[in-house]
């Protein structure tokens, strides 16, 4: 039976769940979990998305993510493919690791937003020695919300969820911990949502979420980059000279992250370049934004 099309929206937040095939654990050690979080941070920054909550278990992962208008399928394909490459190389294996495509559900309102947060952060309760102290589990964002754990990877945006409880961060953390204790942890997310909707009521549609500009018009984007960098980007894109390299790389990365173009589409636009060449340029452009103040400021201006 063919799979139905995935429900998507350019303004949506998503609950994502990825599970490994039955005979293989997704993570065989804490080092694997650390590497997965490292990749999650990389693609969150590369594609300008927000992570609101996560929990890594032995054979599955829960994510609460705001793609900020980026294509969620592209994000998850990048993340999962990179992790499979790492895992297969490390454990000298081949083939699939994830059980089919990832599951996704659009977060529809505030009560679901809170329910999802509670559901994800309660996931670790069945781990040995964790029940009753879920916020101590280092591969969940729960401890970051309560202040028990530091967000050393700077991965999680807690403002959306904590903002429901107080504008004061200390009060919000305390109230969130009490909120988590007050929820009768059901194994089903819809039951948690119903309980929260009854207790807290339905609010407006997660109005505090972050959105950034995603460009539908490539012409508009190129024109704006030219204005910001004060250079003829349209011409330099098609040149192979050394002095054009950084501009080509930056623009390629921006076309990927803010236009959501595939490597094939970018290669067609630039002309006479392989898919691996486009990938290399996009990665170099991302590195420029992370390390070069000129390109960081240019990228921020585009946002």
Domain ranges of the chain: 14-200, 218-302
- According to DSSP, residue 243 is labeled G
Q: What is the mean pLDDT of residues 25-52?
A: 96
**Among candidates 233, 232, 285, which has minimal Cα distance to 256?**
285
CATH architecture of 14-200: 2-Layer Sandwich (3.30)
Is pTM beyond 0.75 here? yes
Level-2 CATH architecture, domain 218-302: Orthogonal Bundle (1.10)
Phi, psi of 63 (to 5 degrees): -130, 140
Contact between 95 and 104 under an 8 Å Cβ cutoff? The reply is: no
Q: What is the mean pLDDT of the chain?
A: 87
Q: State mean pLDDT over 221-236.
A: 86
pLDDT by residue (tens digit) across 130-149? Answer: 888 899 999 999 999 999 99
Q: What is the pLDDT of residue 217?
A: 84
Q: Considering only 114-118, 208-212, 243-247, 253-257, which range has the smallest mean pLDDT?
A: 208-212
| Radius of gyration in angstroms for the set of CA atoms belonging to the chain, rounded to a whole number | 21
Tell me the mean pLDDT in the region 71-75.
94
pLDDT of 113 above 80 = yes
- The 10 Å Cβ neighbour count of residue 4 is 6
In this prediction, residue 54 carries a pLDDT of: 97
| Segment holding 50, helix H or strand E | strand 50-56
The answer to whether residues 50 and 12 touch, using CB atoms and an 8 Å cutoff, is: no
The confidence band for 158, taking pLDDT boundaries of 50, 70 and 90, is very high
User: What average pLDDT does the segment 122-128 reach?
Assistant: 88
């Amino acid at each position: 039976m063919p799979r139905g099309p995935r429900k998507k929206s350019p303004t949506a937040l998503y609950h994502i769940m990825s599970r490994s095939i039955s005979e293989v654990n997704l993570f065989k050690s804490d080092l694997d979990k650390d590497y997965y979080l490292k990749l999650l941070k990389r693609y969150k920054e590369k594609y300008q998305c927000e992570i609101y909550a996560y929990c890594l278990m032995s054979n599955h992962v829960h994510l609460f993510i705001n793609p900020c208008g980026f294509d969620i399928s592209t994000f998850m394909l990048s993340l999962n493919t990179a992790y499979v490459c790492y895992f297969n190389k490390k454990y000298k294996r081949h083939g699939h690791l994830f059980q089919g495509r990832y599951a996704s559900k659009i977060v529809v309102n505030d009560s679901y937003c809170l329910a999802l947060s509670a559901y994800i952060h309660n996931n670790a309760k069945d781990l040995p020695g964790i029940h009753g102290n879920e916020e101590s589990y280092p591969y969940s964002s729960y401890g970051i919300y309560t202040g028990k754990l530091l967000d050393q990877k700077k991965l999680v945006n807690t403002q959306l969820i904590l903002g429901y409880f107080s504008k004061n961060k200390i009060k919000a953390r305390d109230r969130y911990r009490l909120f988590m204790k007050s929820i009768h942890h059901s194994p089903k997310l819809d039951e948690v949502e119903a309980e929260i909707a009854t207790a807290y009521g339905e609010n407006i549609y997660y109005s505090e979420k972050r959105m950034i500009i995603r460009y539908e018009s490539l012409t508009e984007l190129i024109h704006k980059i030219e204005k910001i960098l004060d250079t003829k980007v349209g011409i330099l894109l098609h040149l192979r000279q050394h002095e054009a390299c950084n501009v080509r790389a930056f623009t390629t990365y921006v076309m990927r992250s803010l236009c959501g173009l595939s490597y094939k589409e970018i290669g067609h636009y630039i002309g006479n370049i392989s898919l691996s060449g486009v990938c290399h340029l996009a990665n170099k452009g991302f590195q420029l934004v992370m390390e070069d103040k000129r390109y960081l400021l240019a990228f921020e201006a585009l946002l």
